[in-house]
Amino acid sequence: MPLYDFGCRNVDCGTVIEDLVPVDIKEILCFKCQSPAARLVSMPAKTASLWGDSCFGINGTFNRGLGTHITSRAQEDAICKERGLVREADLQTHWHSDNNKRLQDDKAALDKVSNDYHAAVLSHGDDPERHIKACTETFPANEMLAQAAAHDASTTTI
């Protein structure tokens, strides 16, 4: 919950109260006179990393992730943008769970193909060309060409 300032509306009291309250609370009771106290406009917090840096020190700091010396959050943002990097905080809400689900689905599909291939190899017994036959059964050329074309179409940038 955020910390807000409240001013007592009773002219005789005039107490200013600091309190942790939910965002939607606009008014509380004054603890001295029990009159309504309205939420005041507070001074915004200074964000050091954007306005001149107490977290980066006087001469900046070396960012190991980027492999370079930086002096401000703005410079760090510019480097990230130039390199095509995205901060984790800027990812979509369910990015991690969606990505993990996609990876699990991909692994399951690969496991199925591997199991199909090994079953096909075993079905050909002692035939010296059993691996070639298993490949042609498991990976038909027309399906592989269709998958390659779909992959190329999905990775093509304009």
Residue 111 sits in the same domain as residue 150: yes
Q: Are residues 102 and 150 in the same domain?
A: yes
In terms of domains, do 84 and 112 share one? no
Whether 83 and 110 map to the same domain: the answer is no
Instruction: Indicate whether 113 and 80 sit together in one domain.
Output: no
- What is the pLDDT at residue 72? 82
Per-residue pLDDT at 3: 84
State the residue range of the domain holding 69. Answer: 48-90
Tell me: do 53 and 29 sit in the same domain: no
Looking at the structure of the chain, the number of domains it has is 3
pLDDT of residue 116: 92
- Average pLDDT, 10 consecutive residues per value, the chain (158 residues): 86 87 88 90 63 63 87 87 86 88 94 92 89 90 88 71
Q: Which residue has the tokens 């990393």?
A: 49
Verify that 83 and 133 share a domain, yes or no: no
150 and 130 in a common domain: yes
| Three-class SS of 77-131 | HHHHHHHCCCCHHHCCCCHHHHHHHHHHHHHHHHHHHHHHHHHHHHHCCCCCCHH
Q: Do both 61 and 85 map to the same domain?
A: yes
**Are 99 and 149 found together in one domain?**
yes
**pLDDT value of position 53:** 46
Residues 81 and 100 in one domain: no
